[in-house]
A and B are shown apart, each in its own frame.
Chain A
Amino acid sequence: MALPQNQIPTAFEAFVNATSIDEACKALAIGDGTVVAGGTDLWVQKDEAHKTFGPRLINISNIEELARIEIGRDRIRLGARVTMSDILDNGDLGDIAPALCEAANKFASPQIRNAATIGGNVANASPAADAVVPLLCLDAKIELSKWDGKKISTRDVPADAFFSAPGQSVLAVDELITAISFEHPGTNPIARFFKSGPRPALEIAIVSLGFSARLAGGKLTNVRIALGAVGPTPVRARKTEKLLEGQRLTDDLKAAALDTLADEISPIDDVRGSAWYRQHLARTYLQEALHDAAQS
């Protein structure tokens, strides 16, 4: 479209360089804040007329507590400002959450990965957010914190209840994403992440698909399928998951799964791809995931 003509984007008027969660949440409690982490979405969006921003810019990238990756026996906890590069560099995540690492690896370019945070990817709530897709497969929880006037209070929101529309989520104006956590999936999970794109770098997914499951006695259990860019938010494919759950992978079942998936997603035509192609890719990726699952 032509250049923006009727809205003046908010200029940032104040800058808070927070060094603790406390400080960031207190600044957010004033109600006119904009959080900046890596800035890789924010700087691009700040000149877009349809977006409005609070004039108090709150930098969270120097908050050390938010930069931790905690690998517990039961739960994994990623601080909100953990970057895609941090995820790739971590020695344990490759085994624990291979699909998340695959998503981080296919994310943008090395320069952007060094800046882009997982919290920012979630908060930005793009239907094509790459890290969100494997997080949905991991049943991840988004930890939200705020200053309630006396202390920091937190709530956990399941990832699949977090998003409501493109760019929108349950995140309140005074809330900060402090962490993303998920249950330790045990050893050797089946987990894959697929993303369309002929370019090895700098590609926004036309479709992305995450798949995870366990194979017990030849049967699939804990099946999770999530997709990006096939609807207004990243989504779980629950009907397909249900069809596969507890079943042996026969050729008939695989075919039925592909048809069920095609039925339950309703992608649109846009400048990046047609609905037909999105359906076609979703089928292709699920087919490949099921093929791999059968091999493992």
Chain B
Amino acid sequence: MNKTIDREDIIGARVAKLDAPEKVTGRTRYINDMVLPRMLRAKIFRTDRVHAKILKIDTSKAEALPGVVAVITGVDAPDGKIGVIKDNPPLKKDKVRCIRDELAAVAAETEEICDAALRLIEVEYEDLPPVFTCEDALKPGAPVIEVDRPDNIAMAQDFSAGDIAEGEKASDHIVEGKYNVHYVTHCNMGVSCCLADISVDGKVTLYSQSQYPYIMKMDLAPALGIHPGDLRIIQPPVGGAFGSKLDVYPYEPICVLLARKTGRPVKLEFSREEEFIASPTRQPVEFRIRAGMTSDGIFTFRDISTLLNNGGYTSWGATTPYVTMRTCSSHYVVPHIRYSARAVYTNNPYAGSFRGYGNVQATWMLETHVDKMAEVAGLDPLEIRLRNANQPHSMTPQGSNLGCIDLVGCIKISAEKSDFLKKWNAYSAQWDNGERYKRGIGIATSLHNAGGAKIHKSDGCGTILTMDDYARVTVMTGASDIGQGSDTVIAQIVAQELGVPLRDITVINNDTALGPWDVGVHASRTTYIAGNSAKRAALDARNQILAAAEKQSNVTADQLDLRGGHVVQADNGEVVIETGRLLRQMHFAGEDAKLVMATDYYEPPTEPEDENHMGDMSAAYSHAAHVAEIIVDTHTGEIEIEKIWSVQDVGKIINLNGLEGQIEGGIAMGIGYGLHEDLKIEKGIVQNPAFRDYHVVTAPEMPPIDMAFIETDDHEGPAGAKGIAELPTIVIAPALGNALYNATGVRIDHPPLNPEKVARAIWERSNKNDAE
């Protein structure tokens, strides 16, 4: 009898990320490491004003500096603008609208010469009256930032369902609140960097950290005055992006313009200080909420209005209400909804997209508010959530079918594992016991898209799969892996279908001249969408192989399987032929010669929202619950997180390692948002552009995280998987705020809960108690 091979399941296994060995040994080559022959370095001259008319830019001294090859200003640039509503000229020539504004750029032989040249550029301004808050910018007669928008409103979204007046009538309690969420920024370890190289016939190759290389061609080309087809985006490994590279920002067109002017490759890299000042932030939001419920704590209506400080230009920050809106309208069952958002121009820095995309802000507001409502209704935090929880396959007010969700499971399991109720009752009884250190426990949950998000006409991804004569597989995917681990997941999915070891698979991304189209890496979509496309391409290749094997053996294709690099009989695992051997036979078959190749373009069965914000734009939805237990030093205000319990509906685990990594990393980011990170902006100027004074979470602060996964087995997702990467960042912060309240009786509505704010609030509360 022939050798036999058992079936092995690599889906759900614990697999090391394919790029890990290179990264941990320091071999990964980022753009920041790249050098091309004849390459120049470039630096941007940025303004130190926030709102001013540009009278004159004198670059003559900089141009005269030895080693400087070119200096450009707005007059050297085509008229095309960038940004979500095309309000941002890469080089400003008329007006300065915020602190980071780019007025000129230098290409020189070294970075040091660039720096010296920047100091020789002289600008004359006429200062204009600035405006920094939404409230001021909306006043009649406020300074106008963008001439085309005299009301200073960059973008507006409104949604309503049901009838608020009816909701009010049905309410026994109405709870109001105001929440202001702050500026934070991505803090990518790899600072922004690009490298432009132009061929003699004017075609542009841009090495970019872009998260959306294919659509980027369309967005970038007008700013260069070229056809999008003449742009090739190559995306070497990226040192973190988290949403910050989902738009074209001025540095990339500037770099290309310098390459064109000098006829040499040009690399432009930010300093860390620039990274803080001149990369996008998370969108700050002012929320006002009125929410009603019956005496049993059943939600009746929600009326939410938001103001977004848009800053000087419009990037994706202004679009975050699309996601904020869904949480506001659809997280928990609420019959009557009204939601409005206004993004208001100011002279502040501007926001882009950022992991969690509007939902980090929404969930902070909503989950804090739900805890307050529970207290008014006399319910505990679990009960109010369970009573109002979304149920599987229910329809949201915006017309989304939530599918196979399990919010109730998330709440129940996290509560059970953390012994939530017992602790919650005990800790809230200790507010006034005079102890310095107090414990608290808090819960929060959220809802997020987990099957893509159709914000463009297509939300698809393509795959080209080829197999060589040794059964080695090359998968060219449109999907970008910016560190999140999608290449590994794609390789696992392909390995499972083709029965080859993981190391025999090479995933190639991302070069727009090689790979098929993809919408970009965002919205927790890559495993779901690119995974489905890869799976379908692999299935196609599998069928080709099995059809050939059927011809060679007397076993029909449906009785064959691919395992361990061999074609085997499905029932007993008996080897029929080595896959590589079969592929060679197929290849060298004279007139019948055939190479195994497959292509696929997967378009999820979703629809973009219509003008009334109705539509099922994601193929799957998911929930997570986080419970945090903390110890508060009531004197210094310092919060130590003792433990976090995370329960998430993941559809189906594909790579356990990657899943845990995403949850840990997401929680670290969410803790930073909730407790420490705070990009301080005063009168439009960033006050703390350094890690010294902008505190990201460091390794010793990370608490133990107890993770549990619910596998709801999504009918559309690859192997049943859902997207998982944003929820961990979204949920943790309000759980911490709720825990602070449970520990001390102090509520802080405006994050972060930094020690000073906490100490002050506790001090004020105890002074008030003393006075009473």
Binding site for B on A (CB under 8 A): 1-8, 196-204, 206, 271-274, 276-277, 280-281, 284, 287-288
Cβ-closest chain A residue relative to B686: A1
Answer whether residue B468 sits at the interface, using C-beta atoms and an 8 A cutoff: no
- Pull 5 A–B residue pairs with CB atoms less than 8 Å apart, ordered by A: A196-B636, A198-B640, A201-B698, A277-B759, A280-B760
| A8:B698 contact, CB within 8 angstroms | no
| A274:B755 contact, CB within 8 angstroms | no
Chain A positions within 8 Å of B635 at CB level:
284, 287-288
Chain A positions within 8 Å of B119 at CB level:
4-8
Chain B: minimal CB distance from A252 (Å): 19
Q: Determine which residue in A6, A7, A198, A271 has the highest number of CB atoms from chain B within 10 A of its CB, and name it.
A: A198
| B116:A8 contact, CB within 8 angstroms | yes
Cβ-closest chain B residue relative to A44: B692
A273 and B676 CA atoms in complex are apart in Å by 13
| A198:B756 contact, CB within 8 angstroms | no
Cβ-closest chain A residue relative to B121: A5
| CB under 8 Å from chain A, chain B span 722-772 | 754-756, 759-760, 763
Chain A positions within 8 Å of B688 at CB level:
271
A201 and B118 CA atoms in complex are apart in Å by 36
| B638:A198 contact, CB within 8 angstroms | yes
| A274:B756 contact, CB within 8 angstroms | yes
Answer whether residue B99 sits at the interface, using C-beta atoms and an 8 A cutoff: yes
On whether A198 and B701 interact (CB within 8 A), knowing A2-B46, A3-B273, A271-B680, the answer reads: yes
Chain B positions within 8 Å of A288 at CB level:
635
| B701:A196 contact, CB within 8 angstroms | no
| B639:A198 contact, CB within 8 angstroms | yes
| B760:A198 contact, CB within 8 angstroms | no
A276 and B639 CA atoms in complex are apart in Å by 19
| B46:A3 contact, CB within 8 angstroms | yes
| B701:A200 contact, CB within 8 angstroms | yes
Q: Determine which residue in B636, B698, B754, B759 has the highest number of CB atoms from chain A within 10 A of its CB, and name it.
A: B636
Chain B positions within 8 Å of A277 at CB level:
755-756, 759-760
| B692:A204 contact, CB within 8 angstroms | yes
Return the CB mask of B113-126 against A: 1 if under 8 Å, else 0. 00010110000000
On whether A273 and B756 interact (CB within 8 A), knowing A2-B99, A2-B277, the answer reads: yes
| B636:A284 contact, CB within 8 angstroms | yes
- The 8 Å CB contact of A280, one of B277, B693, B759, is B759
| A198:B116 contact, CB within 8 angstroms | no
On whether A199 and B760 interact (CB within 8 A), knowing A3-B118, A5-B119, A272-B693, the answer reads: no
| CB under 8 Å from chain A, chain B span 641-700 | 675-676, 680, 685, 687-688, 691-693, 695, 698, 700
Chain B: minimal CB distance from A255 (Å): 15
A273 and B638 CA atoms in complex are apart in Å by 13
Chain A: minimal CB distance from B688 (Å): 5
Chain B positions within 8 Å of A280 at CB level:
759-760, 763
Chain A: minimal CB distance from B387 (Å): 36
Chain A: minimal CB distance from B88 (Å): 19
Cβ-closest chain B residue relative to A272: B693
| CB under 8 Å from chain A, chain B span 246-293 | 271, 273-274, 277
| A201:B763 contact, CB within 8 angstroms | no
- The 8 Å CB contact of B695, one of A2, A5, A199, is A199
Chain B positions within 8 Å of A5 at CB level:
48, 118-119
Answer whether residue B47 sits at the interface, using C-beta atoms and an 8 A cutoff: yes
Q: Determine which residue in A3, A204, A274 has the highest number of CB atoms from chain B within 10 A of its CB, and name it.
A: A3
| A3:B274 contact, CB within 8 angstroms | yes
A249 and B639 CA atoms in complex are apart in Å by 31
Chain A positions within 8 Å of B271 at CB level:
3
A220 and B48 CA atoms in complex are apart in Å by 54
Chain B positions within 8 Å of A202 at CB level:
691, 698
Chain B positions within 8 Å of A2 at CB level:
46-48, 99, 277
Interface size on B, residues (CB 8 A): 35
Chain B positions within 8 Å of A272 at CB level:
693
A196 and B118 CA atoms in complex are apart in Å by 39
Cβ-closest chain A residue relative to B112: A11
Cβ-closest chain A residue relative to B759: A280
Chain A: minimal CB distance from B10 (Å): 38
| B698:A196 contact, CB within 8 angstroms | no
Chain B: minimal CB distance from A99 (Å): 18
A202 and B639 CA atoms in complex are apart in Å by 17
Cβ-closest chain B residue relative to A280: B759
A202 and B693 CA atoms in complex are apart in Å by 10
Chain B: minimal CB distance from A294 (Å): 16
| A198:B676 contact, CB within 8 angstroms | yes
Cβ-closest chain B residue relative to A109: B698
Chain B: minimal CB distance from A110 (Å): 10
Chain B positions within 8 Å of A6 at CB level:
119
Chain B positions within 8 Å of A276 at CB level:
760
On whether A198 and B675 interact (CB within 8 A), knowing A8-B119, A284-B635, the answer reads: yes
Chain A: minimal CB distance from B403 (Å): 40
A245 and B685 CA atoms in complex are apart in Å by 47
Q: Determine which residue in A5, A7, A206 has the highest number of CB atoms from chain B within 10 A of its CB, and name it.
A: A5
Chain A: minimal CB distance from B507 (Å): 34
A197 and B759 CA atoms in complex are apart in Å by 13
A284 and B638 CA atoms in complex are apart in Å by 12
Chain A: minimal CB distance from B700 (Å): 5
Cβ-closest chain B residue relative to A277: B756
Cβ-closest chain A residue relative to B678: A271
Chain B positions within 8 Å of A4 at CB level:
119
| B759:A199 contact, CB within 8 angstroms | no
A3 and B688 CA atoms in complex are apart in Å by 13
A272 and B687 CA atoms in complex are apart in Å by 10
Chain B: minimal CB distance from A42 (Å): 15
Cβ-closest chain B residue relative to A276: B760
Q: Known pairs A2-B46, A198-B701. 9 more at Cβ < 8 A?
A: A3-B118, A3-B274, A7-B119, A196-B636, A202-B691, A274-B756, A277-B759, A284-B636, A288-B635
| B693:A201 contact, CB within 8 angstroms | no
Chain B: minimal CB distance from A288 (Å): 8
A271 and B756 CA atoms in complex are apart in Å by 12
A200 and B687 CA atoms in complex are apart in Å by 23
Chain A positions within 8 Å of B680 at CB level:
271
| A1:B759 contact, CB within 8 angstroms | no
Cβ-closest chain A residue relative to B47: A2
A292 and B638 CA atoms in complex are apart in Å by 20
Cβ-closest chain B residue relative to A281: B636
Return the CB mask of B31-64 against A: 1 if under 8 Å, else 0. 0000000000000001110000000000000000
The 6 closest A-B pairs by CB, nearest first: A2-B48, A277-B756, A284-B635, A198-B638, A200-B700, A271-B687
Chain A positions within 8 Å of B692 at CB level:
204
- The 8 Å CB contact of A196, one of B48, B99, B273, B755, is B755
Cβ-closest chain B residue relative to A198: B638
Chain A positions within 8 Å of B700 at CB level:
199-201
Chain B positions within 8 Å of A196 at CB level:
636, 755
Chain B: minimal CB distance from A278 (Å): 9
A244 and B6 CA atoms in complex are apart in Å by 80
A202 and B701 CA atoms in complex are apart in Å by 11
Chain A positions within 8 Å of B676 at CB level:
198-199
A284 and B675 CA atoms in complex are apart in Å by 21
- The 8 Å CB contact of B685, one of A1, A3, A206, is A1
Chain B positions within 8 Å of A7 at CB level:
119
Cβ-closest chain B residue relative to A49: B119
A197 and B756 CA atoms in complex are apart in Å by 10
A7 and B116 CA atoms in complex are apart in Å by 9
Chain A positions within 8 Å of B759 at CB level:
277, 280-281
Chain B positions within 8 Å of A271 at CB level:
680, 687-688, 693
Cβ-closest chain B residue relative to A287: B635
A77 and B274 CA atoms in complex are apart in Å by 43
Chain A positions within 8 Å of B277 at CB level:
2
Chain B positions within 8 Å of A3 at CB level:
46, 118, 271, 273-274
A154 and B636 CA atoms in complex are apart in Å by 43
A201 and B691 CA atoms in complex are apart in Å by 12
Chain B positions within 8 Å of A8 at CB level:
116, 119
Cβ-closest chain A residue relative to B691: A202
Chain A: minimal CB distance from B756 (Å): 4
